[in-house]
Structure 1
Amino acid sequence: MHIGLLTDTFARETRFGLSRYSHEIHGSLSAAGVRTTPMSAVSAYGDEEPDWLRATGFRRLPIDRKLLAGTWSLVPWPPIERWAPDVDLVHALDTDYPLATNKPWVITFHDLGVLTHPAWFGKARPWLLKRCVAAAVDRAAAIICVSQATADEFLGITGGRGAERVRVIHEGVGEEFFLPATAADIAALPATVTDTPFFLFTGSISPRKNLLRVLEAFAEVADRIPHRLVMTGAPGWDASPEMAAVSQGPLRDRIVNLGYVSDAALKALYGRASAFVYPSLYEGFGLPVLEAMAAGCPVITSNQAPLTEVAGDAALLVDPTNVRDIAQAMLSAATDEAQMKALRAAGVDQARRFSWAECGRRTREVYAEILGA
């Protein structure tokens, strides 16, 4: 079995979100002895590919990504096997455009927010994803959705077409998040997050992440607790209001914006935070919730799918549109140690239900079903 992996995120310098998924699928296939060829028209490295990338068998497609996506959205040519003629199947791991191939095609949909909530995806191109969904219904051998919520979105958009080929395969959480942070990683944290208790907010900053309401909620309780609010992640599209509120708001001296941090630093932050605050307005899955739980951090998240699908009963669930609801949960996290101790234990148990090994195993089952292997 030789699997071609089409990905826009594999050759990144940093791994989070879609990039983490692409690497975990590649890693699980390789560990199971499945031959893979990661392919992409996108690379952060140009012609100077690092050793780790070359070792994966990565193949850079000699065509601009925008041109490739636009062409494949209009005509199924040139087929991707022109650059990988011996693959048995091609899996599009994280792309939002159709694939031209004469081989069996599997596609993973992480979310369909560009179509269902376009106001939160201002720089996206809905027509491209519409073409991708239509092509998947017509031609894909299997359609993997990372949550039931995403599967429901897909079937809602297609009117139920393709339902017999939809497979819900949850993402997982890396085993490294269950391990305690090292003393060196904790010591490397800045003093602003080690000398005072804090809440943690992570992720690319954009309207759907709901940071403005988190800031309002923090302001409601700040005079009753000593906590800071620590943020990690880079600004996404249209983050100007959020960044202005962080840098110019009345509580700016109690907000620490660390930007992008490594997995090791993130795990150390999870381990020290009073709670991970993640009342997102929209997600396709919600991987940060699992990572926080695995690291033993109490979680405050939205009472909407798929975050309820991921968190189960192991988090404080809040109405993400209700500032007072978020504020009350933050106050509980800061003051009710017995409740937080219970949430830490429940969160670890919940995170154990989601593993990349299981994600990879079920993905291989899809390939085997298609190829008769």
Structure 2
Amino acid sequence: MRLAIDAVAANEKIRTGAGEYAFRLLTAMMKETSSSEGVFLYTESPLHEMWPQLPENWKSRVLPWPVRGWVGIRLNAELITHKPDVAFFPSSGIPLFAPPRRDKSHASVATVHDIGFDRLPQLYAPVDRRRQRHALHGMIKKCAHLFAVSEFTKSELTHLHHLDSSRITVTPLGVNEQLFQKADPSAVDRIRQTYHLSRHYFLFVSRVDAKKNVEGLVRAFTIFKEARGFGDPHELVIAGPPGFGFPDLKALVESSSVRSSIHLIGPVSEEEKIALYTGALGYVNLSWYEGFGLTPLEAAACGTPSLLSDIPAHREVMSASGGGEGALYVSPKAPEEIAMVWKRFAEDAILREKILESARGRLKLFSWERSAKDTWEILRGVLSPDTLFTPKPL
């Protein structure tokens, strides 16, 4: 089998969401490869130094492109010229001329990370909303099979887009516990010195945009701090690249009465992120919508409990169906209520340890190795007739 993979998002040095999924999944897939498979990783620039050595049957193909439209134009042309048996798109939309769904000798497979743009369109820039809708419709129309990163995302696809659930495979994200573990105390001290942090900070790590409800995060923290009065040592660290609505969020931080205790530090490296997790009193994410929710698992692996918005993806990832809460949950809608729960989270060390213990138990349920095996199973069998599907009309 000749397998072509869009690895452009996986090759970003500062990865969030889909890029992290693609990088971790592909590196795990390398360990499960067969010598009879020719795998081609297509990127816009040479593979960066974080990639492991490629297996002998894996090749890197760099397709430089000076303007926007790498997937739609440059990768598109490559797939027409060198048509693979299977094309896999783990992080973005698919090209116009990707192998079509009804082609019995070639197939396209893609991963859907979330469809928040359908549920909460106001939280996306108009151009991004149109792009993501177009990408999803292309996947539904052309792909022989789809992956979803959670049961929640799978259910969203079946309910909103009327797809047959048997034709969607869930391949969740995982945490590499050899990488994500408590950082050395000296690394934590360095990160505190670098960003001038106290020993009593809460952490948010993700893209800093409207969908993540960073506005609610800042408002709730401001109320929490004001209630505690002068001399309270708690701080809030917001780490991650800017996204839609960032200028308004930055202005909100600058106008906050406790702005000296809020640190907007921008994107961080993986090493810095692990040190930040380790040093934090707690991880806080009040997102309106998630397809999966990886960061609370990463925090747990580094010994840090989480305060999370009560949304389906967070519940699926962090809580057992029979009980055992791996996080403290709160509605993301009311900053005043969030501040009250935040106070309890900050003051109750026994509660934090209890939810951390449950969260650690969740870690073993999410494995890149398992998702890699499930991905290979679909990719290797996707050309057989019983794996092809016909979506119902949109």
Give 1:217's aligned residue.
220
Cα RMSD after superposing both structures: 2.7
| CA shift for structure 1 position 340 | 0.8
Give 1:344's aligned residue.
356
1:197 matched to 2:203? The reply is no
| CA shift for structure 1 position 267 | 1.4
Alignment of 1:314-333 (within 5 A): 314-333=326-345
State the distance in 2 between where 1:233 and 1:257 align.
8
| CA shift for structure 1 position 294 | 1.7
State the distance in 2 between where 1:77 and 1:295 align.
41
Identity %: 24
Give 2:168's aligned residue.
166
Closer, same or farther: CA 280–332 of 1 in aligned 2, 3 Å: same
Q: Which moved more, 1:254-263 or 1:54-63?
A: 54-63
| CA shift for structure 1 position 146 | 0.6
Q: Which amino acid aligns with 2:199?
A: T
Match of 1:256 among 260, 263, 269: 263
| CA shift for structure 1 position 275 | 1.1
Structure 1 gaps, min length 5: none
Q: TM-score, normalised by structure 1?
A: 0.87
Give 2:150's aligned residue.
147
| CA shift for structure 1 position 138 | 3.4
| CA shift for structure 1 position 353 | 1.3
Give 1:14's aligned residue.
14
State the distance in 2 between where 1:310 and 1:320 align.
17
Describe the superposition over 1:79-131 as per-residue Cα deviations: whole angstroms up to 9, x where unpaired: 71524x4x431111111344523421111011122233221111534444444
Q: Secondary structure at the match of 1:250?
A: coil
1:109 matched to 2:112? The reply is yes
State the distance in 1 between where 2:130 and 2:267 align.
31
State the distance in 2 between where 1:68 and 1:252 align.
40
Give 1:278's aligned residue.
285
Q: Which amino acid aligns with 2:346?
A: A
Give 2:241's aligned residue.
234
Closer, same or farther: CA 52–337 of 1 in aligned 2, 3 Å: closer
State the distance in 1 between where 2:360 and 2:51 align.
32
State the distance in 2 between where 1:330 and 1:17 align.
26
| CA shift for structure 1 position 183 | 3.5
| CA shift for structure 1 position 323 | 1.2
State the distance in 2 between where 1:89 and 1:253 align.
53
Alignment of 1:48-197 (within 5 A): 56=54, 57-61=59-63, 66-67=68-69, 78=77, 80=79, 82-83=81-82, 85=83, 87-102=84-99, 103-158=106-161, 160-191=162-193, 195-197=198-200
Q: Which moved more, 1:267-276 or 1:362-371?
A: 362-371
Describe the superposition over 1:276-326 as per-residue Cα deviations: whole angstroms up to 9, x where unpaired: 110101111111121112212110111111111112121001101121232
Q: Secondary structure at the match of 1:285?
A: coil
Q: Which amino acid aligns with 2:295?
A: P
State the distance in 1 between where 2:300 and 2:50 align.
30
Closer, same or farther: CA 306–323 of 1 in aligned 2, 3 Å: same
User: Which structure has more RCO (C-alpha within 8 Å, separation ≥ 6)?
Assistant: 2
1:297 matched to 2:304? The reply is yes
Structure 2 gaps, min length 5: 100-105, 320-324, 385-394
Q: Secondary structure at the match of 2:127?
A: coil
Closer, same or farther: CA 53–198 of 1 in aligned 2, 3 Å: closer
1:207 matched to 2:206? The reply is no
State the distance in 1 between where 2:93 and 2:8 align.
9
